[in-house]
Amino acid sequence: MLSALLLLAAPFVSAGIVARHDAHHDVSPGQLPTTWYHTDEHPVHKLFKRGPATDGINYAAVGSPTWASAYPRSSPDISQLPQAWTNALSQAVQAGKIPDIPKTTNTPQTNPSYPSGTNPMDPSVCSSTYKCRIPGDTWDAPNGVFGTGFDDGPQPASATLNKFLKANNERATHYMIGVNILNNAGLFTEAFEELENDIAVHTWTHPYMTTLTNEEIVGQLGWTMEIIHNSTGGRLPRYWRPPYGDYDQRVRAVAREVFGLEVILWNQDTEDWSLTTGGTSMGAVNASMHRWLTGPKSPGLIILEHELSDQSVQAFISAYPEIKANGWRTLSQAEIPGGSVYQNEDDDGNVTPNLVGAQVSIAPSSSSSTSSSSASTTGSSGSSTTSTSGSTSASSSTTSTTATGSPTSAAANNGAPSDIVHSLTTILVAIIPALFVLV
Ligand X SMILES: *[C@@H]1O[C@H](CO)[C@@H](O)[C@H](O)[C@H]1NC(C)=O
Q: Which of 42, 45, 306, 422 is catalytic?
A: 306
137 labelled catalytic: no
Cα-Cα-Cα-Cα dihedral sign, residues 210, 211, 212, 217: negative
* Interacting partner of 105 out of Zn ion, ligand X, none (Cβ under 5 to 8 A depending on kind): none
Shortest CB 391 distance to ligand X, Å: 25
- Please say whether the beta carbons of 259 and 221 come within 8 A: yes
Q: Which does 230 bind (CB under 5 to 8 A by kind): ligand X, Zn ion, none?
A: ligand X
Closest approach of Cβ 51 to ligand X, in Å?
A: 7
The interface partner of residue 414, options being ligand X, Zn ion, none and the CB cut-off 5 to 8 Å by kind, is Zn ion
Window contacting ligand X (CB under 6 A); options: 313-321, 332-340, 375-383, 408-416: 313-321
User: In this structure, how many other beta carbons lie within 10 angstroms of the beta carbon of residue 338?
Assistant: 11
Which ranges in 49-150 belong to alpha helices (H)?
Answer: 65-69, 83-94
Least Cβ distance, residue 57 to ligand X (angstroms): 5
Q: Which does 152 bind (CB under 5 to 8 A by kind): ligand X, Zn ion, none?
A: Zn ion
Minimum distance from CB of 114 to ligand X (Å)?
A: 34
Across 370-409, b (16+ Cβ under 10 Å) vs e yields: bebebbbebbbeeebbbbeebebbbbbebebebebebebb
Q: Is 378 helix (H, G, I), strand (E, B) or coil?
A: helix
* Size, binding site for ligand X by CB under 6 A: 14
CB of 357 to ligand X, least distance (A): 16
Within 8 A by CB and 6+ apart from 270, the residues are 280, 285, 288, 289, 303, 304, 305, 315, 386
In order of 240, 250, 270, the CA distances from 101 in angstroms are: 21, 6, 31
Active-site annotation holds for 122? no
Q: Which residues, at least 6 apart from 169, have a Cβ–Cβ distance to it below 8 Å?
A: 20
Beta strands in 170-306 (DSSP E): 173-176, 198-201, 239-240, 262-263, 268-269, 301-304
* Contacting residue, 24, 25, 50, 174, with ligand X by CB under 6 A: 50
Q: Is the dihedral of CA 318, 322, 324, 330 positive or negative?
A: negative
Give 243 or 417: the residue with its C-beta nearer to Zn ion: 243
Under the criterion CB under 6 A, does residue 302 sit at the interface with ligand X? no
Report what 57 binds from Zn ion, ligand X, none; CB cut-off 5-8 Å by kind.
Answer: ligand X
Q: Which is nearer to Zn ion, 124 or 393 (CB)?
A: 393
Out of 184, 224, 230, 413, name the contact with ligand X by CB under 6 A.
230
Q: x/- site string to ligand X, residues 318 to 347, per CB under 6 A?
A: xx-xx-------------------------
In angstroms, the CA 407 to CA 401 distance is 10
Contact between 1 and ligand X (CB under 6 A)?
Answer: no
Binding footprint of Zn ion on the chain (CB under 5 A): 151-152, 243, 414
Residues 6+ apart with CB under 8 A from 321: none
**From the CB of 26, what's the least distance to ligand X, in Å?**
21
Smaller CB distance to ligand X: residue 95 or 167?
167
Residue 71 site contact among Zn ion, ligand X, none (CB < 5 to 8 Å, cut-off depends on kind): ligand X
The active-site residue out of 122, 137, 140, 151 is 151
Using alpha carbons only, how large is the chain's radius of gyration in Å?
A: 20
DSSP annotation of 276 reads G
Residue ranges in contact with ligand X by CB under 6 A? 50, 57, 70-71, 226, 230, 286, 289-290, 293, 318-319, 321-322
- Residues marked active site are found at 151, 306
